[in-house]
Amino acid sequence: MALDLHRDFFGWPFHSSLLSDREFLGSASSQPRSSFTGDMRMDMTERPEAYDLTADMPGLDEKDVKLELKNRTLTIRGESKQESEEKEGEEVVRTSFTQRSFQRSFRLPTDVEEDGISASMDKGVLKLTMPRRSTEASGRVISIGAPKSTESQ
């Protein structure tokens, strides 16, 4: 079975609610912190034995990421909140610290073995391995015999 994820995986439009980067007049403490909501960058590769997904989630740890599988749909969510502390005698003039959230959902190919999916995270890079079921269907040979008689002898 060929991987048919282009439409589901890469075809979604990218959308975000980035606030424009502008110089603030006066104190930034009265301005809202910037935020980003959108899609994360991902790559998916196909091997005979598995699909491999790599998602770039810089600044996030595994505690910030949630994976959910429901009805063959995999949802990846990540959220990072960076809090800043105002110190006495200091006034924030401008800040680039952001609150970020990412979400991406896609339907798994029919040959993915759901119970075998594994995930790891290292330095903001999420890696999932989704093993594939064997393409060789196990089966049996059915022999053709004579019709069974319905009459008793």
Looking at per-residue pLDDT, the higher value among 80 and 35 belongs to 80
| Geometric angle at alpha carbon 26, from 23 and 28, rounded to 5° | 70
42-92 confidence digits (pLDDT tens)? 899 999 999 999 999 888 889 999 999 999 999 999 888 766 666 677 777
> Which residue is it, tokens 């996030």?
60
What pLDDT does residue 147 have? 85
Q: Which of 48-57, 90-99, 137-146 has the lowest mean pLDDT?
A: 90-99
Q: By the 8 A CB rule, do 102 and 81 touch? A: no
CA separation for the pair 117, 52 (Å, rounded): 10
Residue ranges and CATH numbers for the domains of the chain are: 33-83+91-131 (2.60.40.790)
* % the chain with pLDDT above 70: 60
What pLDDT does residue 136 have? 67
CA separation for the pair 101, 35 (Å, rounded): 8
Average pLDDT over every residue of 115-123: 95
Query: How many other C-beta atoms can be found within 10 angstroms of the C-beta atom of residue 114?
Result: 12
pLDDT at 34 over 70: no
Please report, to the nearest 10 degrees, the dihedral formed by the alpha carbons of residues 120, 69, 36, 18 taken in order: 130
> How much is the pTM?
0.58
CA separation for the pair 20, 12 (Å, rounded): 23
What pLDDT does residue 143 have? 84
- Of 17, 24, 2, 34, the closest CA to residue 110 belongs to 2
